[in-house]
Structure 1
């Protein structure tokens, strides 16, 4: 039973890494220069090269987490307790189950449904729109792709990217100990950057849509929540 639990955990971790990487894969190529919207603050970050690096990193971290989970199960103690490995991050617990559930069963379907709803019009780079989609998932929220993205990446970071997780195996003990106590600060800073980036991006998109569709967009914007249906 223990082996089945460890194997199932590793498999779900790998799937979460795969779908997190997939959610960062542009469903269509960025718009050509003559189609691109003028104000796009992250244009340089969404070029094929940077996107590929991030995708591989996201998948690689999850694969390593799965490998460590299997190693800890096979070898028992793995690293000694004073090396700071939190074994609860590498097996089924309430926290790991909920984190993986959010990534796989909430964030990923929401993100991919947003891709599908816009079809060939969904690009990571801002492009001059020719239609305002207010049906399907967009009937309920204006920015489902960002909601999905956050519901994937926040639990991903909280589960996989932490000093007492698989990072232990990347850093010398001296370096890791110097980072002890800074995890919370790092998360706050990281989430602040993500929140500010998302807010800026949403602002640019909404400016583009307002200029393109005027009153139609204003009515939709007034009657539809941005990120959580009926709430926010």
Structure 2
């Protein structure tokens, strides 16, 4: 099996793993009433940009090879690093969903009887879900040896992240006040001890 085929298969498994982890939480979330939401046109656009970068564009590249001019032959080391990033991303993604439990939401929502989650992976990082997605975007760039597919994930998710993290933190501060400010002061945003 070539490194290109290995990377494509791994990327497909990453997408399947993402869906398998998320699906039960999405079903449960629909049963809980939303008290406050920051959804709207801007959030929909951010989500679509991220979906294009992490799903649609790489899906087209995997299925068709288009645009072939942006493709290159990866080294086994690159593909191996992509596999490690894939495993780390899915483990972190699962830990994040497990810690959030009933508080999980696909968007900027405050649920009925919402509690600030500071346990599990959230003891160390305020936004481990975003860390998982950044790692997925990195895995995609390493696994799919195509400059368009690689950059699409980083740009697509990066757009969502940089336009959403500020409003999300403002919403949490408005909802939880000093409890959130104290939590924010003692945790990193994405990487423990760094950022």
Instruction: Verify same fold: TM over 0.5.
Output: yes
Whether contact under 8 Å (1:37, 1:127) holds in the other structure is yes
Deviation at 1:201, TM superposition (A): 1.3
Query: Hey, what's the Cα distance between the residues in 2 that align with 1:190 and 1:202?
Result: 17
Question: Which structure 2 segments of 5+ residues have no match?
Answer: none
Where 1:123 maps in the other structure, the secondary structure is: coil
Deviation at 1:61, TM superposition (A): 5.4
Residues 162-189 of structure 1: per-residue CA shift (max 9 Å, x gap): 25xxxxxxxxxxxxxxxxxxx6xx93x8
Deviation at 1:126, TM superposition (A): 1.9
Query: Hey, what's the Cα distance between the residues in 2 that align with 1:207 and 1:84?
Result: 40
Deviation at 1:64, TM superposition (A): 4.3
Per chain length, whose mean CA-contact separation is higher, i.e. which structure has more relative contact order (CA < 8 Å, sep 6+)?
A: 2
Question: Which structure 1 segments of 5+ residues have no match?
Answer: 1-5, 69-82, 164-182
Are the structure 2 counterparts of residues 11 and 161 from structure 1 closer, same or farther at C-alpha, using a change threshold of 3 Å?
closer
Whether contact under 8 Å (1:20, 1:59) holds in the other structure is no
Larger radius of gyration: 1
Deviation at 1:95, TM superposition (A): 1.0
Deviation at 1:144, TM superposition (A): 0.3
Whether contact under 8 Å (1:28, 1:120) holds in the other structure is no
Query: Hey, what's the Cα distance between the residues in 2 that align with 1:223 and 1:84?
Result: 43
RMSD: 3.8
Alignment of 1:91-102 (within 5 A): 93-102=76-85
Query: Hey, what's the Cα distance between the residues in 2 that align with 1:230 and 1:38?
Result: 31
Where 1:109 maps in the other structure, the secondary structure is: helix
2:187 equivalent to 1:202 = no
Query: Hey, what's the Cα distance between the residues in 1 that align with 2:35 and 2:161?
Result: 19
Counterpart residue number, 2:43? 42
Alignment of 1:165-176 (within 5 A): none
2:9 equivalent to 1:14 = yes
Tell me the TM-score normalised to structure 1 length: 0.62
Residues 26-59 of structure 1: per-residue CA shift (max 9 Å, x gap): 5315668x72634233246659xx96x8887478
Whether contact under 8 Å (1:20, 1:58) holds in the other structure is no
Alignment of 1:149-228 (within 5 A): 149-160=133-144, 162=146, 187=151, 191-192=154-155, 194-228=157-191
Where 2:143 maps in the other structure, the secondary structure is: helix
The number of residues matched between the two structures is: 182
Counterpart residue number, 1:28? 26
Whether contact under 8 Å (1:23, 1:149) holds in the other structure is no
Deviation at 1:202, TM superposition (A): 1.2
Query: Hey, what's the Cα distance between the residues in 2 that align with 1:10 and 1:64?
Result: 11
Residues 117-148 of structure 1: per-residue CA shift (max 9 Å, x gap): 11132111222141001111000000001001
